[in-house]
Amino acid sequence: MHPNEALLHEFYGAFARRDASAMAAAYADDARFSDPVFPNLDASEVRAMWKMLLERGKDLAVTFGGISADDARGKAHWEATYTFSATGRTVHNVIDATFEFRDGKIVRHVDAFDFWRWSRMALGAKGTLLGWTPLVRNKVRETAARQLAKAK
């Protein structure tokens, strides 16, 4: 197994165990993270994001697979099931992740998922009707950014 593939197994294993410190250790100090809700985080923000999500997601369950990596790049598929705290609705999010590595650390991490699908589960009727619009996406991003700023 390539060392970067092992790093991803360790990262997602830590995620499943709810070990934010071990997840944080996988990132380089100049790492960048992006997903549809948190579009451009630096290393300190991504570390704080995982810690916040693990602390708030009391019923969070994570599964993962499809991990592969070489010297420069990697990928993984993971799924998360949790209760969205703002609405109390159950979410089952399906995510494909891509990574870039340097010196045995993650320097770029991009999680891709269907935001509209997520919004239908998390927000109910509002997400079904408006989840595809920039208005809802931007509102979710603003709320998430405020929560992250408080958690840092």
Please state, in angstroms and rounded to a whole number, the distance separating the CA atoms of residues 72 and 16.
25
Please state, in angstroms and rounded to a whole number, the distance separating the CA atoms of residues 130 and 134.
9
Write out pLDDT tens, residues 47-102: 999 999 999 888 999 999 999 999 999 999 999 999 998 899 999 999 999 999 99
Report CA 121 to chain centroid distance, whole Å. 17
Write out pLDDT tens, residues 5-23: 999 999 999 999 999 999 9
Token representation of residue 142: 């603003």
CB 106 within 8 A of CB 31: yes
Q: Which pTM value belongs to this model?
A: 0.92
Domains in the chain, please, with CATH?
3-113 (3.10.450.50)
- Beta carbons within 8 Å of 128's beta carbon, 6+ residues apart: 119, 120
